[in-house]
Amino acid sequence: MTDLARSLLLSASRSTFLADRMMRQPFAQRAVKRFMPGETVEAALDAAKPLAEAGIGTVVTQLGENLTSLAEADAVREHYLTVFDLIAQRGLPSWPSVKPTQLGLDLSFDACLANLSVLAARADAAGSLLWIDMEDSSYVDRTLDLFRKLRATHLRVGVCLQSYLRRTPADLAALLPLKPVIRLVKGAYAEPVDRAFPDKRDTDAAYFALGGDLLQAARDGARPVFGTHDIPLIERLAARAGALGVTDGDWEIHMLYGIRMADQRALARAGRTVRTLISYGRSWFPWYMRRLAERPANVWFVVKSLVR
């Protein structure tokens, strides 16, 4: 039943018909507020302030993918330059995260690289970090190529890898000589079984194995970031870090805004390095469906919230 629910939610995430209609519905707008404080970067940074006061950093990202013109990609680049300025003005421990398709990857690899290079240079100057998010499996090779080219001249850039993809162990092994900053997630796109594990248990096992490799590499300068809400898995990884002599400050935990917020605060109080990913923007429907698909039980939470 869970697998069926996940498949239905992922199918819904790709439906422009549903997106056009659901995004106009007040009940859907109320439901999404659990995961997103607002549609503007100012709303995201307003939400980041109390988290910073609790010792929790943030990562902010504007929703929207697969642009249709390079002019749109240029506008996204300029938006994120403004985001760097707003973060600095507010003095927040916050980093931007971008999707390559937001910056023109579907249209021109070189144009996307140029846009990312501008943002990576700003991250260097600001003492910040630019996150490159990972999209579905058809983008992995190009995204990792972008990351490698950026790392040749910019150290303050990180990339995301997905444990449910069968190729990820080889991708991680190829990246480790760069001493990279890597956020490991489980994965939230619909993928064919020849590319991704269909069984959650296999994804979880792959996550722990990859996490162990990242922690081992942390002793040589890599920075592991674990993007998961799976508390038992985090505890296992923390024990692994301790056994390897990797200190709390040498690895991070990233979770989404609105999910396990009490746990995020408890982890921060316990001395872990925690960041909350805060999304904003008008193109929230596909992203929201993927968030629900990560844990279909969230659907019941949303229904109860609406009834209340």
The catalytic site residues sit at 133, 183
- How far apart (Å, rounded) are the C-alpha atoms in residues 120 and 82? 14
* Cβ proximity of 214 and 221 under 8 Å: no
- How far apart (Å, rounded) are the C-alpha atoms in residues 106 and 93? 31
The b/e string for 66-76 (b: 16+ C-beta within 10 A; e otherwise) is ebeeeeebbeb
For residue 60, the one-letter residue type is V
Helix/strand/coil for 121: helix
DSSP E strands in the chain: the ranges are: 57-62, 94-98, 130-132, 157-162, 181-185, 223-227, 252-256, 273-280
